[in-house]
Every structure is written in C-alpha cells, then in structure tokens.
C-alpha cells in the first residue's frame, strides 16, 4: 500500500513537470524569451551589491539569475517546470500533515494550476513563483517540529524572516492573482523576437498566423525590412548605394 501511494505521488510529480515544460517549450515559447529580454543581470559585484539590497533582495537575485537563461529554447521551460512541480510537491507534503492522500492531491493540483496560469501573464515575473515556492517551503519546514506548540511559533518566525528576504508573492502588475494564456499576444511576441534575430522564414510564418487586427503591429515590426512585410504592396529595392539595393 505504501509503495502504491509513492507510485501515485511520483506520477503526479512527473506530470506536474512534463505538462508545463511541454507547454512553454512548444505552445508558448516566446513568452519566456520576452521575459528574458525585459531583464538585466550583470556578473559584477558592485552591480549586485547596489541592486539587490533591502526587502526582497534574495528572491530578486535568484529570479533575475534564472531569467537570464530564458532565451535558450530548453532552459526557460525547464526552470519554470521545476518551480511549478516544486509548488505542487510542497503543497502536497503540507496537506498530508492534515488530510489523506487524495484530498492532498486535489489541493496540490489546484495550487499547481493556479501557479501555472499566473505564469502565463503577459507582465508576470518569475520572482513571484519563486516567492510562492519559498513561503510554502518555510511552512513545510515549520511543520517538521515534533511538538504541536512549536509548529505555529516556528511558522511565524520563519515567515517573518522570509518576508525580509522575499517580500509579497503578489503584485498588481507583475504578480497578478490570476491570468490566462493569450495566444494572439504570443504570436506578436514571436514575430518581434524572430524579426530581431532576422529569421525571415519564421517572420513570414508568424505574420500569416497573426489575425488581421495585428496588421499595424506587423507592419511596424517589419518597417526596417519592408520586403519582408507580408502586407506590403510595393516591392522594396533598398536604399540607393546600399548592398540591398537592386
């Protein structure tokens, strides 16, 4: 029986990892790439010392360090999948102190889905997923105390100390309580990313996928290279004297 319960827990953890990894790797890849482009992390001691101080310094340092890898095709989805799977696993362990297996799995699944949807927000920052996982880990750590009266005391102390290093897990713009994937916006981000990388075949592919309402955005994205604009009616022959001129 114990082996069966462990088997179910491992399956749930594996699913909680593979589902977001596949989603952000194949269905929503540019979302994390854009997040990396909005972030700056410099390997310089003076920069780190001046930037990461005050309340929430630790989580800002960790999240900015992680987000620098989001431009890589596999690294970003891997990091996000590990964080989300970690949230589900920790919530399950916490719930098992009070409930049986299946109710604990249900609560863990709800937390997992909620955290996953938050990750899909357009302005969302990885920091708030890290904060959520860190606070839950502190609660789980407090529950390891043997005596009943020690548990709430340890939880209060750990959460108070954690607030100094972590701050709030919510923000009105960058850490909203709820969000959903926006695939139209994902297409526009993909077009912008591929344009900056000058992957013109992918630019044309994403341009065709965008809805007509995005025509203005697409035209502006291709303004530097009008010949690649699928909505352009006038062939572009380049600037006079340039290597692109024909």
Segment-wise mean pLDDT, segments of 10 residues, the chain, 246 residues: 65 94 94 89 91 89 94 92 97 94 94 96 92 96 93 93 88 88 87 80 75 55 54 46 39
Q: What is residue 129's predicted lDDT score, i.e. its pLDDT?
A: 96
The 3-state secondary structure of the chain, one letter per residue? CHHHHHHHHHHHHHHHHHHHHHHHHHHCHHHHHHHHHCCCCCCCHHHHHHHCCCCCHHHHHHHHHHHCCCCCCCHHHHHHHHHHHHHHHHHHHHHCCCCCHHHHHHHHHHHHHHHHHHHCCCCCCCHHHHHHHHHHHHHHHHCCCCCCCHHHHHHHHHHHHHHHHHCCCCECCCECCCCCCCHHHHHHHHHHHHHHCCCHHHHHHHHHHCCHHHHHHHHHHCCCCHHHCCCCCCCCCCCCCCCCCC
pLDDT of residue 225: 53
- What is the structure's pLDDT at 239? 39
Indicate the domain borders of the chain.
2-166, 183-228
Q: Tell me, what's the pLDDT at 60?
A: 92
């Amino acid at each position: 029986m114990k082996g069966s319960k462990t088997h179910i827990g491992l399956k749930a953890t594996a699913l909680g990892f593979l589902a977001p990894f596949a989603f952000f790797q194949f269905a929503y890849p540019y979302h994390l790439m854009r997040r990396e482009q909005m972030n700056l992390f410099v390997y310089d001691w003076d920069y780190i010392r001046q930037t990461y101080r005050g309340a929430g310094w630790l989580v800002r340092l960790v999240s900015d360090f992680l987000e620098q890898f989001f431009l890589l095709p596999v690294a970003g989805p891997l990091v996000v999948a590990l964080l989300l799977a970690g949230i589900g696993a920790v919530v399950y362990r916490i719930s098992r102190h009070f409930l049986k297996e299946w109710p604990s799995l249900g609560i863990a699944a709800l937390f997992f889905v909620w955290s996953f949807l938050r990750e899909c927000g357009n302005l969302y920052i990885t920091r708030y997923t890290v904060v959520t996982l860190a606070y839950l880990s502190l609660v789980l750590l407090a529950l390891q105390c043997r005596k009943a009266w020690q548990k709430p005391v340890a939880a209060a102390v750990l959460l108070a100390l954690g607030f100094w290093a972590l701050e709030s897990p919510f923000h009105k713009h960058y850490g909203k309580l709820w969000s959903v994937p926006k695939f139209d916006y994902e297409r526009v981000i993909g077009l912008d990313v591929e344009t900056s990388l000058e992957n013109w075949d992918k630019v044309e592919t994403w341009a065709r996928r965008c809805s007509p309402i995005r025509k203005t955005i697409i035209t502006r994205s291709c303004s530097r290279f009008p010949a690649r604009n699928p909505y352009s009616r006038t062939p572009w022959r380049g600037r006079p004297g340039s290597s692109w001129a024909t």
